[in-house]
Structure 1
């Protein structure tokens, strides 16, 4: 899915439609080590050519296998993303005005438009920071081990409140002394 700009100019009147199945597993694994596997990527879209540049609209669908953020178990993560990007040559960018549509503008380095690179970039951009298995999403049990455990933020605040209000009995008399001196200072 790589076209020369000269070839794309032939489609200036009608635009170019494409539909491809891409095997990008190896490229995705090389760019992001957390990706364990990737199914074939279905890409359907169009390229519209005008005086502003090359407008690329496509939808990509795939399923990535990623490690769970908690347990590192493999999780299948379906991805369905709509992408709109505006590619421009250096000359078009130099002549760009405020009338240029406000899409994400990408500068073409050479004389070819490579949709595969755009697909890979957009897949990597849409990988979430937190991936959980179905059991981890539905369950309240967080991981724990010997002498450690993961707790929710709410539990943490409850523990902090409990420790703040509990006074060590060995220091109770000292606390009473501090209260007495503060009462005397107030009078």
Structure 2
């Protein structure tokens, strides 16, 4: 578990505390994230923390090798993730005004411990793209299908809507055809 001491950073004579670590994902995190993440390896976090009253602010960069479900078929997709995030840590509950004024999240810490492990894990999930496809799905525009159903592209869906006949109008069309036949006699 990756934790840092708030008071040690706050009282440090060095202006910046540097962190460079490999992170091991906890099994309970993988269980919680099982629908969004199949596997996470080689997770590296680097960052700097500094005290700027009343917060310890951390700027972090994370790289990880992930296996995530395809957003189309749920098949496993290997994905190398790189992202940065910033968080502010405080020992006192932030006011509503502080939360609204600060563009970065403010995290209330417990027992003088900054839980960087949870921050990294949560940000790994937040930074997975909403659309991720297997190479075959990208190259061949492959969509899943089953008995009496299929997934179609948005373009194909719109084209189908244009060519679809409204059942109510189809019944009216039959009535008009019958009328035209009667008038021709």
TM, length-normalised to structure 2: 0.79
CA displacement at 1:43 relative to structure 2? 0.4
Structure 1 position 56 matched with structure 2 position 58: yes
Larger radius of gyration: 1
CA-CA distance at 1:156 after TM superposition? 2.1
Q: Which residue of 2 aligns with 1:133?
A: 134
- Give 1:25 shift: 5.4
Q: Residue 136 of structure 2 contacts residue 142 of structure 2 at CA under 8 Å; is this kept in 1? A: no
Unaligned 5+ runs, structure 1: 180-187
Seen in structure 2, the aligned counterparts of structure 1 residues 28 and 130 have a Cα distance that, compared at 3 Å, is farther
SS of equivalent to 1:156? helix
Question: SS of the residue aligned with 1:39?
Answer: strand
Q: Which runs of 4+ in 1 moved over 3 A?
A: 165-168, 170-173, 176-179
Q: 1:178 to 1:86 in 2, by over 3 A?
A: farther
2:153 maps to what in 1? 152
Matched residue count: 175
TM-score (norm 1): 0.78
For residue 11 of structure 1, report the CA deviation from its aligned partner.
2.1
Residue in 1 that maps onto 2:23? 22
